[in-house]
Amino acid sequence: EYLLNLPANLSKKYCKFRTGNTKLPIETGRWFNIPRENRICKLCNSKDIGDEFHYLLKCTDAVIQNSRIQNLSKYYQSNPNVIKFENLFNVTKKKELVKICKFLYIIIERVNSPG
């Protein structure tokens, strides 16, 4: 249903993120046989694995943090866990979906930007 409620450019980013079709370290590391524990986020100093959960709810990169504050409700920002992560991908309200997609766009652009 979210595909029908979103503009095409946003639904494309949302689908890519949900299906793991991104260039996050968790994915690119798999392409090069890098052990999972070494596929860490290169944007922050947390040494966490650079997966969808990390970037959506935990990454301390300033650009991502600011976008998280602007686009996600405080519920998702405090005490992140797998249940909140799952709930985030079950949002059906168009206004919330658009904000999530804007945040995903920032994450993807930030991860893919050089330097």
- pLDDT (tens digit per residue) in 34-90: 999 999 999 999 999 999 999 999 999 999 999 999 999 999 999 999 999 999 988
55 closest CA partner among 6, 100, 8, 9: 100
Decide: 103 and 76 in contact? Cβ < 8 Å: no
Going by C-alpha positions, the residue among 39, 56, 70, 45 that lies closest to residue 110 is 56
- What are 22-33's pLDDT values in tens digits? 899 999 999 999
Q: What does pTM read for this prediction?
A: 0.90
CB 13 within 8 A of CB 29: no
Q: How confident is the model at residue 95 (pLDDT cuts 50, 70, 90)?
A: very high
